Structure formats: structure tokens, C-alpha cells
Amino acid sequence: MFLTKGIGDALLEETSNCKEDNMKKVLALALAASLSIGLLAGCGGDQTAQTSGGDVQGSGSGAATELTLWLPIYQFGDGISDEEFWNAKLDAFEAENNCTVNLEILSWSDYATVIYTGMLSGAGEGPDVVYVTETYDLINAGLLAPLDEYITDEDREKYVFLDQGAYNSDGQLCTWPMMAGNPCVIYYNMDMLEAAGITELPTTWDEFFDVCVALKEANPDVWPFIQSWGATNGVSAMLASFWPFFFQAGGTVLDEEGNLNMDSEATLEALTFINKLKTEGIFDDSIVTMDDPNGKFVNGEAAIIINGTGNASTYTEKGINWQCSLGLEGSAGVATNFSVDSLAVASYCENKALAADLIKYITSAECMDDYHEQIYGMPSLTTDATYTEPEPFQSMYTNDADKMHVVPSFEGSASFMDQFQQNVQGMLMGQLTPEQVIEQTMTYYNEQIAS
């Protein structure tokens, strides 16, 4: 499913579930939690916050070490619950390491806020190991422990997305990817392309523009290509409408010192191309209020859309004869953006080495193969995993992982993106040039946000 950081605004009803078994004592939880801008949980419906944990004595001698683990709910169907799944998996880790893992499954409501507040409370109140979606404030506040000393050469070889975690200002890795994927790819309605005499998918920006022109000429009543510059916030607007082009132009969101790097040639190239789509008639004036491009594509009112891989099944169910490509070739090559949510160790954790081992266990093929099958399907994290995504997406993850880029968390990112969206709307209405979009957005950021 397509989750925007991402991955979607899920309002989930929360209750507490209590149950006992021979191995665990259930902890009552009434925490609210949410994905502030995105990845990975965009299914709606009422869900239940679950907790578990307890007093488990492992196979070793002496008192058991305790770790508190916070994970979000990902079971949105009728299968085994997150709580039951992780209870079963954690038994082996607890026995091997003579420890107790107190598991708390949180809902997505206000998730980022709950995580931040809980970690500010420190040891005994907050988690030792936690699933994180937004990382800037957590890292800036010194709440996440660097993980580099716990990473082996074998880990670097085995974990496919490890370098896509979040880093502190010293270049130390502070998060370990757990849910990575849902890249923004280009979907084409092949019936519409064939009706316009187009037999091959475009590969470059110029070819893409020519295809759009041909589609417009063949059927003036259909959007050749559609974007979402009227989305309710800048994060959603930029997700599929800007970032793919930005990365294809060689953009890097942050420089080597961690400073915002949007006053760049890549930003200008991407904006210039998007503006060309408007000035040359591919977009009409309603592009600045367009907030449901997916609906247009599903209903046959648009021929091309950029969207997450999770939408493929919906398009198939709606009878759309679609094909897709990872992205176009810009001045820096083929690229696109994707989402990564991760696990982290709290800086106050008293046994960081054990916490790091827990992260490795959770993200191992032993756990994640079953997790992806029973709870939530996502690309495999390790080279020894057996779970595969449907084609053509598995091949993309296998062959083109280096072409997928994460938009990192940075200071005031949501406010920056809101302002960027507003200025792009001004550009698409003919009020601003691409250069002015950059200038005015960066002035706003430097004067109103940057510390």
C-alpha cells in the first residue's frame, strides 16, 4: 500500500488488550501514536493498540536484563496480531540472551509526538528500542545512540538498506532501517499510450515530454500526466511531484555538514521541467488545486502518474492495463525517492549492545520473512531473505536499490515543504519563475526556521 510519511494519515482507534500466558505478563497501554508525514502505514480502519511483555527468565543464570521495545501496529487485516507475532518471535531472543523484552504495540495516532515525549521521559518511562519515522528532533536532542560500534562488516554486507538510516552531525548512523520501500514509480495507462501511437515507454525527460504532447494531441480531454500540487500539505505535494525529478537531476537534500541544500542546480532543473509542463499545456490551471491525481488515473482521466508501488494492486483491480518504470533519466541518471522507517536505540539505554542485538534479530530474515508474509509486505532487508515482492518491483529492489533515495528529516522540514508548495503554485500560475521559487523559499527557511 502507498504510505506517505509518510505513507498516509491513519486515524486509528486505540484500546488496551490484556492477556496472560506462561511466558509473558501483558502491560496495559493507552498510548496514542502516529506517522506525522509518512511511510508506511496508510491503511485506514479502527485498530487496537496492543501491549505485551513480562517476566521471562532465559536459559542463562542470574537476573534477566530488561529492554522495552516500542513498535507501531502494522496488522491491518484479519491475520495474526502484531502482539501475538512478536511475542512468539521474541521468546527465542529472550531465552538466548537471558533477558526480558517488554513489548508495546502503539497505534499511529500522533506517533512521532508520542515517541518524542516518551523518550524525553528517559529510562523507565521511554523505550530502549523504538521504531522511528521522524528523526531530526530525536537526533538533535541527543535521544538516539550512535550504532556504528555495533555494526560488523558482515552486517554491512548483509543489510541491503543499512546506509539509508539517519545520521547525526558527526556522521554516525543512529537508525537501522526496518521498513524500506514503496518507491515512487511512473505508471502508464498502456491503452491510452497505444491509442496515441506510443509503443515504447520514455526513458529521458525529453522523451517523456514528447509522450505527453502526443497524448494531449490524441485525447485533449484526458490529462497526459498529472501531479498533486493542490495536496493538503507540502510533504504530500512534493512526495511524487517533485522529489523524483530532483534526484534525477542529481540533487542532495542536505550537504555534507547536514545543512539544507535546496538552493541548487538540481532544484532549478526540476522546477524548470515542471514549469515547462504547465507553460506548454500539459498541465492546465487546475493543477494548483489538484489534490486527487490518483483518482483521475484510476478513473481513466489521466494517462500517466507517479505514485508508490503499493498502488499497483489497486490499478490492476480497477482493470487498468498499466506498465511502470522506476524513473526517468535526468542529468544525473535514473533515480527516484522511497521511504525508510527504522529502529533506534535510546541514548539512555543501559545495555546498548543488547539493544543493538535485538534490532539485528528483529530485522533478520528469521523474523522479517514471516513478518512480511503474515503482517505487512515490504522489500526484504537482508541478502539471505526469502520473501519477494511481486514483479516488476522485486527486480527494482534487487537491481536498482542504489537508484532509490530517501528524503532525510531536517529542521522545520514540514514548514519548508509547505512554503515550497505555495511558491510552486505561484510558479504554475505564472506569478513566479523557478529561480524566484528557490529564492523566496530559502529566504523563508533561513529567516523563519533555521536556528
What is the pLDDT, as a whole number, of residue 376? 86
Q: How far apart are CA 387 and CA 175, in angstroms?
A: 23
Query: Which pLDDT score, from 0 to 100, does residue 6 have?
Result: 36
Q: Are 235 and 4 in contact (CB under 8 A)?
A: yes
Per-residue pLDDT of the chain (451 residues; tens, 9 = 90+): 233 333 333 322 333 333 333 333 333 333 333 333 334 443 333 333 444 433 333 333 455 699 999 999 998 778 899 999 999 999 999 999 999 999 999 998 888 889 999 999 988 899 999 999 889 999 999 999 999 999 999 999 999 899 889 999 898 999 999 998 889 999 999 999 999 999 999 999 999 999 999 999 999 999 999 999 999 889 889 999 999 999 999 999 999 888 999 999 999 999 999 999 999 999 999 999 999 999 999 999 999 999 999 888 889 989 999 999 999 999 999 999 998 999 999 999 999 999 999 999 999 999 999 999 899 888 899 999 998 888 999 899 889 988 999 998 899 898 999 999 999 999 999 999 999 999 999 999 999 999 6
* Structural domains of the chain, ranges and CATH numbers in brackets: 4-182+339-398 (3.40.190.10), 184-337 (3.40.190.10)
pLDDT of the residue at 304: 98
Nearest in space to 118 (alpha carbons), one of 408, 344, 425, 364: 344
Q: What is d(CA 443, CA 152) in angstroms, rounded to the nearest whole number?
A: 43
d(CA 297, CA 130): 37
Residue 412 identity (one-letter amino acid): G
Sign of the CA dihedral running 232, 236, 241, 247: positive
What is the rounded CA–CA span in Å between residue 99 and residue 357? Answer: 12
pLDDT for the residue numbered 27 = 36
| Separation CA 207–CA 214 (nearest Å) | 11
3-state secondary structure of 376: coil
What is the predicted pLDDT for the residue at 13?
31
The contacts of residue 379 (CB under 8 Å, 6+ apart) are: 160, 180, 181, 389, 393, 394, 397
